[in-house]
Amino acid sequence: MALDFSIVLRFQEALALGLWMTIKLTLICVVLGCSLGFFVGLARASRSGILRAVSGIYVEFFRGTPVLIQLFWIFFCLPLILGVELSNLASGVIALTLYMGAVTSETFRASLKSIGREQLDACVALGLSRRVQVTSVILPQAVLRAVPTLLSNCVSLFKESALVSAVGMADLMFVGQNISNNTARPVEVLTVVALIYFVIAFPLTRAVTLVERRVLAKLAI
């Protein structure tokens, strides 16, 4: 079989649209997932046994089950339970956000533990409200310490987002599959799709290493 990668050029606009959908989905889920993960991390570090138990069950469930099954359950089963139609975009956002929240909660929990108890005691001594403690003292330090791992989680989410093609969402993987089926050129098309993922993900992984070094140097660890 003679390979002809020039055929992919005919579909560059469709691939670009699919890539944009993938990036947009990833960004939405990163923002929502990291926000959720921070509050779940606070719950896991809480003095309340109920909060620790509920957040622990959530984290262990979404970390311990395949993302694809979570996506299928939300897309096919949740509408039957709620009696409401969910689009493939909504299902993808919900599934990836819940997964990202579970993963990043552990990152935030570890970073929260690394904040010295004396700083929290100082907040209490100064009479700062809990809201001010979280937003002005705890959050900035937790985010700084968690940045390298969070960036790594974001790269992983970018790659995991290819799973939404299984529910018909027109992301990069879905578009690539359709093109390969229509042209009967799976080797050329899927190779290019894989290279697109790599070209975006590889520099990000290198950036994670660089950021980690700088953060560690800043914290003098």
Segment 48-107, tens digit of pLDDT: 889 999 999 999 999 999 999 999 999 999 999 988 888 999 999 999 999 999 999 988
Minimum mean pLDDT range among 12-16, 54-58, 123-127, 172-176: 123-127
Dist. CA 211–CA 67, nearest whole Å: 28
Segment 171-195, tens digit of pLDDT: 999 999 999 999 989 999 999 999 9
94-112 exposure pattern, b = at least 16 Cβ within 10 A, e = fewer:
bbbbbbbbbbbbbbbbebb
Q: Which ranges in 45-185 belong to alpha helices (H)?
A: 49-64, 67-72, 78-82, 88-113, 117-125, 130-132, 139-160, 172-183
Dist. CA 189–CA 183, nearest whole Å: 9
Return the DSSP state at 2. Answer: -
Local confidence band at 12 (pLDDT 50, 70, 90 cut-offs): very high
Range from 115-124, 132-141, 188-197 that averages highest in pLDDT: 188-197
